[in-house]
Amino acid sequence: MNSSQYSSFILTGYSNIGELKYLYFIIITMLYISILFSNTLFVVVICLERSLHKPMYLFLCSLFVNDLFGSIALFPALMTNLISDDHSVSTVHCFLQIFCIYSYANIEFVNVAVMSYDRYLAICYPLQYTILMTPKNVCVLVFLIWLCMFLHMFINVSLTVRLEFCGNVIDKLFCDNYLVVKLACSASDAAVNNIYGLLSYYFIVAVLFFTIVFCYTAILTICLKSSIATRKKALSTCTPHLASLLNFTFGCFLTVIQSRFDRPMNNVPIEVKTILSVYFGICQPLFNPYCVWSQDV
């Protein structure tokens, strides 16, 4: 038995929604329109206004584009499954959704970490900032972020596609790579996926976490030694960015808990679990335009 014998996967996360599906559909549609409008507006403004072609705005543009990318990967399928009685998804679409959603999450995290490094250079080394963070260098850095994360997820999904599956039921609202790998017939074949996933994600998270902590520790040290005016300016620049980072980390944490640890979520109402499972893909694209944009860059 191999993956080609299953033409689809079944998403059971919709089974307990019942008659509330129409209410959820209306809410999700309104949120999706809001995300598309706000993020697209800011991307257009940054691209057309030459005075905004500065490092932080270019990173913000990458962030907004990624939010659009992640929303398109999640919302249309979510809306379709909400109002449909058939909650199956083709294997091709399932793997494509895994690639897009995980790429979105990785790019978001890396992008936010790089933005913390940008703030570190701007506040701690203002004289060298314009030399190091030229628009050209920023564009190259953004391109490398997207390219590396796409390659990372291509390898990840390729390892999943090769597996032989003994089931096709996924207890979630969307295709989750970890839950798909759990359906593998052979534990030894799945071990390759688990080892690659753990090593790559621990490495990525460790590097990004170290970068963020180092940058903000240095920024805080500079703030404590500076004047009140300088301190307020630095805090007004970094606070929205930190809020965005914490919001996204919280959303990803909820998703990991639901996918990998069933026991902590046993006593949580099904309606709450449903909302929390897509928190990272809904709240972050809504949060960024209204939070990150308020930075004093």
85 sits in which H/E element: none
Domains of the chain and CATH, by start:
3-294 (1.20.1070.10)
More confident residue, 290 or 206: 206
pLDDT of 120-147, one tens digit each? 898 888 888 988 888 889 999 999 999 9
What is the C-alpha separation between 211 and 56, in angstroms, rounded? 17
> Which runs of consecutive H residues, i.e. helices, occur in the chain?
21-48, 55-83, 91-124, 126-132, 135-161, 177-181, 187-225, 228-260, 270-277, 279-291
What is the C-alpha separation between 178 and 114, in angstroms, rounded? 27
Range in 19-28, 126-135, 212-221, 236-245 the model is least confident about: 236-245
DSSP for residue 172? S
Backbone region of residue 90 per phi and psi (left: phi > 0; alpha: psi in -120 to 50; beta: other values): beta
Reference 99, options 159, 54, 20, 46; nearest CA is 159
Distance of CA 13 to the CA centre of its chain: 20
What confidence category does residue 293 fall into, taking pLDDT thresholds of 50, 70 and 90? low
Beta-carbon contacts of 93 under 8 Å, excluding residues fewer than 6 positions away, are 77, 175
Residue 268 confidence (pLDDT): 63
Range in 54-58, 79-83, 134-138, 230-234 the model is least confident about: 230-234
Contact 58, 138 (CB under 8 A): yes
Residue 41 confidence (pLDDT): 92
What confidence category does residue 70 fall into, taking pLDDT thresholds of 50, 70 and 90? very high
Residue 151 confidence (pLDDT): 95
What is the C-alpha separation between 34 and 46, in angstroms, rounded? 18
Q: Is the pLDDT of residue 204 over 60?
A: yes
Contact 196, 169 (CB under 8 A): no
Range in 15-24, 264-273, 281-290 the model is least confident about: 264-273
Residue 126 confidence (pLDDT): 86
Residue 67 confidence (pLDDT): 93
The bridge status of strand 88-90 relative to strand 8-11 is: antiparallel
Residue 166 confidence (pLDDT): 86
Range in 48-52, 57-61, 286-290 the model is least confident about: 286-290
pLDDT of 19-44, one tens digit each? 778 888 898 999 999 999 999 999 99
Helix (H, G, I), strand (E, B) or coil at 169: strand
CA distances (Å), origin 89, targets 78, 169, 275: 11, 10, 20
Residue 2 confidence (pLDDT): 47
What confidence category does residue 3 fall into, taking pLDDT thresholds of 50, 70 and 90? very low
Q: Is the pLDDT of residue 68 over 90?
A: yes
Question: Which pair of structure tokens corresponds to residue 226?
Answer: 């500076």
Backbone angles phi, psi at 59, to 5 degrees: -65, -40
More confident residue, 19 or 212: 212
Residue 99 confidence (pLDDT): 95
DSSP for residue 162? T
Beta-carbon contacts of 247 under 8 Å, excluding residues fewer than 6 positions away, are 283, 284, 287, 291
N-term to C-term CA, the chain: 56
More confident residue, 104 or 85: 104
